[in-house]
A and B are shown apart, each in its own frame.
Chain A
Amino acid sequence: MAAPVAIHLEFGGGAELLFNGVKEHHVTLPSQSEPWDVKQLLVWIQRNLLKERPELFVQGDSVRPGILVLINDADWELMGELDYRLQDQDNIVFISTLHGG
């Protein structure tokens, strides 16, 4: 069993509008058999945080193209993207670059 993970989530560039306008969320992901990765985080966000129009945030397994992801202030492309294993106290930021966000 992997221990619960406490992380800090941030939404910006208009992506926060899909979360009732709330930009910052401190959340604790529950203990589960597998370690948490970003792919599972996206599923968790959809089930627990996303207020409306999931298709404007996720597409397939990943984030919608045009939404940038930063893990601890670094491009997620450098961190393994969906496969990145979340650590306690990680800071994950989603920034929409889409006009209508």
Chain B
Amino acid sequence: MKLFGRELLAQQRLFWRSREAAFFTFALPIVFLLLLGSVYGDDEIDGIRGSTFLLAGLLGYGVVATAFAGLAITLVVRRESGVLKRVRGTPLPTSVYLAAVIASTLVVVALEVVVQLLVGRYVIDADWPASPGALALALFLGSVTFASLGLAVTGLVRSAEGSSAVVNAIYLPLTFASGVFFSVDSLPGFLQAIATVSPLTYLLDLVRAEFIAGRDLADSGTEIAVLAGWGLAGLLVALRWFRWEPREA
């Protein structure tokens, strides 16, 4: 436990020291919120205020950018540079290490959510979440699911240089197709097809249901089941293909 705590602190330090990672995962969703909020915050989307719709969408986007994209890229870079191999040669259990890396990601997500809610409320005049507790649980479930998918995707990437290309090729289209910025109904057919399988769609449905309608989590069985299914699938792939050593040889 002491090992875990210390490693978590080290991972936090590493995250905030790495400017690019901190910008793309932490600051970018907030920048989007400010920019797009000023563009169509006062419009109405799916029958609700644009800024509230956008804030709920960007909460989900922040989860994917941090827990999926940021985590996967960080781990691939560490793997290819040999850091993971070196860590594995110490008595620190690999499970404690990975747990600390993931927990550190969750801490970043949590901070980001808080900042987004404040900016949303006080800068672009969005609403407060209707049921904050359920929203927190939904975001937690989403973060764990996407972290597990992030671990899984590291097995597909062969090089550090390729990591952002592959990861962005997955998550940017997902972001558009799943209705972060616009309502899914306004998208062309092929994007809607992606939307029906994308875990982000279900996370956003869940987030918007909690945020806007204050629905009970128990009434969101489908969304929760789909997310858990993706999370489990990611975990299985990660268990099979996650590597600690560079792929050079």
Say if A and B assemble together: no
Residues of A in contact with B (beta carbons under 8 Å apart) = none
Taking beta carbons and an 8 Å cutoff, which residues of B are in contact with A?
A: none
